[in-house]
Structure 1
Amino acid sequence: MSDHPLADHVPAATAVLSAVSLALVFGAVLGALPSALLPVAPDWVLALIPTLNAAICAVAFVVVAVGWRAIRRGDVHRHRRAMLTGLGLFALFLVCYLYRVSLRGPTPFTGPAVVEQYVYLPVLAVHVFLAIVCIPLLYYVVLLALTRPVAALPRTNHPRVGRVAAPLWLVSFGLGVVVYVLLHVAW
């Protein structure tokens, strides 16, 4: 194992972090977080957040793809840098998203009803589902990576879970950009 204090508690730490993260997300989306406690940014900043988040998703997609490719080539250090950068971008996305949604609520779809029903809602559902599924997977692989020596990681669940988490994360980031286009560009 490892001398890291969390090394023997990765599943429990994953569960706690996932529960807190998902509670914050659902609390913000459902309007349960007290928005009165948040500082209110100017309208132009709040209006800019969706575009910023789409850019974050696009950059994160590239970074995670680079990290995935790096590990397939055996470049552990580049993989680690890329995946931690991707995690940081994901965290930045979530902070911006939660802040805006807490103050303004979810953005309504203003396009045609047929597009909403057959394109937007299915894309949004898959995006949200994958984002929810990815949260515990990401915490798990990151906690394994941070609590063990690099040489020990191949003997853990890190590679197996990472092979599932990375493509799901990529699809979620990609669909995040599609959701942005449908909400803010197409209509």
Structure 2
Amino acid sequence: MAFRTRDHVPAVTGVLSVISLALVFGAVLGVFETVAPTAPEAVIDAIPHVNAVLSAVAIGTIVVGWRAIRRGAVDRHRRSMLVTVGLFVAFLVLYLYRVSLVGPSPFPGPDSVYQFVYLPVLGIHILLAIVCIPLLYYVLLLALTHEVAELPATNHPRVGRVAASLWLVSFTLGIVVYLLLYAVY
């Protein structure tokens, strides 16, 4: 009997989520040595700014995809969501590359802002990003393993609404974190 992803979407989602989160936490905690060559300092310094732009564009593509599906434009929705996944992957690769080389960015502002603004915003951003990983894998796997006509009968529409909402908030809070780190202070 052949293994078909379509028949095991929750299990495949779980495996991919565990692997992805282990890689992310491993990189952030410095468990993995960086195997990639070190880029020039100007490139490494530019990554947070590039990631802020990627996040802003991702917010736009999520909104476009959401509006498209509400209007019944399935192809536009699919393209928008796939572009968003690509933007997220690019963001994550750049973020993990930078953090594996230089570590997390220290907060340069006052302690009161750090404790009462920055940490709560960062915490919610990270929590939502973690929660989004399995949701995104799940809706993506459903979309990739089912015909368009079958998707309304799956959990794709319901879970997709939740995933898109949380993803929007996470990307937005990521931009707030960026602004606090690089613009405000």
TM-score, normalised relative to structure 1: 0.96
Task: Please name the residue that 1:23 is paired with.
Answer: 22
The CA distance in 1 between the partners of 2:175 and 2:88, in whole Å, is: 13
After superposition, residues 27-176 of structure 1 pair within 5 angstroms as 27-35=26-34, 37-176=35-174
C-alpha deviation, 1:5, in angstroms: 2.9
For each residue in 1:94-120, what CA deviation from the matched residue of structure 2 results, as whole angstroms up to 9, or x when unmatched? 000000000110000010111111110
Task: Please name the residue that 1:6 is paired with.
Answer: 5
The CA distance in 2 between the partners of 1:33 and 1:51, in whole Å, is: 24
Compute the RMSD of aligned alpha carbons: 1.2
C-alpha deviation, 1:163, in angstroms: 1.2
Matched residue pairs, number?
Answer: 184
Runs of 4+ in 1 over 3 A off after TM superposition: none
The CA distance in 2 between the partners of 1:74 and 1:166, in whole Å, is: 17
The CA distance in 2 between the partners of 1:73 and 1:174, in whole Å, is: 24
Give 5+ residue unaligned stretches, structure 1: none
Give 5+ residue unaligned stretches, structure 2: none
For each residue in 1:3-31, what CA deviation from the matched residue of structure 2 results, as whole angstroms up to 9, or x when unmatched? x9310011111111111110111011111
Identity of aligned residues (%): 66
